[in-house]
Structure 1
């Protein structure tokens, strides 16, 4: 691993440390049952340092095709409704935009997030079955 990418992997491992701590605080039993993490093949995710971290805590990684689409629920579930919500709006300041975003997120039903996460499993399976080809629906 080159020294150039080490800081990115180190930062990603720090993020994983914070995630692990948040899971421990908010959902303590989840760590004992095992964590399945979905991330892509970006260099910080595939770096030796990150792989060692994942092995140390025995976190399972969903495989991701080398040149496959981004399977993040935000891409296929969140951004469309958010774009429709913000369509036609104009904001005087960045604070106005942030306020509108917070209001929108605060008013989303918990099922909105549940549907997005659950649909990831189906999309991931379709993508895997297609050997990494893009999944439209």
Structure 2
């Protein structure tokens, strides 16, 4: 019995297509050397369609232990500052919220992202040292 393609997997593969194109434009050598991607085990990430996409382009996936928000930069580095920024704000429409989010992201310094990504190595080392247990700051 074949698994059906979920719209979430299709959307995720479209996101990967856009990521691949952005890498091609900004860091073409990276595609030749190989991309290493970290994502969790959410259904769109583990779906057959996604696995086929990753295999087609030879992208390597770092294993991600279940229930490990301490290894996802969005969880340990992004959501806190975003929550503080949005705290107390109210939006009339979804477009207003999207506009505010775009503005916030556009005004973040490159170092904000660099710090989040660069801290991954030490967080992985702690996770390995703790045999997969939760990594505290």
- TM-score norm. by structure 1 comes to 0.78
SS state at 1:70 partner? helix
**Whole-Å separation in 2 of the counterparts to 1:87 and 1:15:** 28
How far does residue 37 in structure 1 lie from its aligned partner after superposition? 0.2
Contact persistence 2:69–2:75 (CA under 8 A): no
TM-score for the superposition, normalised by structure 2: 0.78
Cα distance between partner residues in 2 of 1:78 and 1:41 = 19
Distance 2:4 2:37 in 1: 25
User: For residues 132 and 108 of structure 1, do their structure 2 counterparts lie closer, same or farther at Cα, with a shift above 3 Å needed?
Assistant: same
Unaligned ranges ≥5, structure 1 = none
CA-to-aligned-CA distance 1:38-91 (integer Å, 9 cap, x gap): 011223323344333323322111111144336221111111112222333344
Q: Identify if the C-alpha distance between structure 1 residues 99 and 41 changes in structure 2 by more than 3 Å, giving closer, same or farther.
A: closer
Residue ranges of structure 2 left out of the alignment (5+ in a row): none
CA spacing shift, 1:131–1:6, aligned 2, 3 Å? farther
Residue equivalent to 2:95:
95
Shift of 1:7: 4.8
Partners of 1:68 and 1:127 within 8 A in 2: no
> Structure 2: how far apart are the matches of 1:89 and 1:7?
31
User: Could you say what the CA RMSD is over the residues aligned between the two structures, in angstroms?
Assistant: 2.6
Distance in 2 between the 1:123 and 1:31 partners? 25
> Which structure ranks higher in relative contact order (CA pairs < 8 Å, sequence separation ≥ 6)?
1
